[in-house]
Amino acid sequence: MFWTIIGLILLFWFAGLLLDLAGGLIHILLVVALVVFIVKLIKKV
């Protein structure tokens, strides 16, 4: 589930770069996803 969400956010971010649709929101969501990913990695180790 977690990897699916990351994949979808990356896909929407890339589409946002290409089509310039809601770019600011997509970039914010990408940063949030990366922070969550890093926190999960730190807690796992």
pLDDT digits over 3-25, tens only? 787 777 777 777 766 766 656 67
Distance of alpha carbon 42 from the chain centroid: 18
What is the pLDDT at residue 21? 60
What is the pLDDT at residue 34? 81
Dist. CA 12–CA 45, nearest whole Å: 29
> Residue 13 is encoded by which pair of tokens?
């971010």
What is the pLDDT at residue 42? 87
> Residue 4 is encoded by which pair of tokens?
């699916």
What is the pLDDT at residue 30? 75
Mean pLDDT on 23-31: 71
Give me the count of residues in the chain: 45
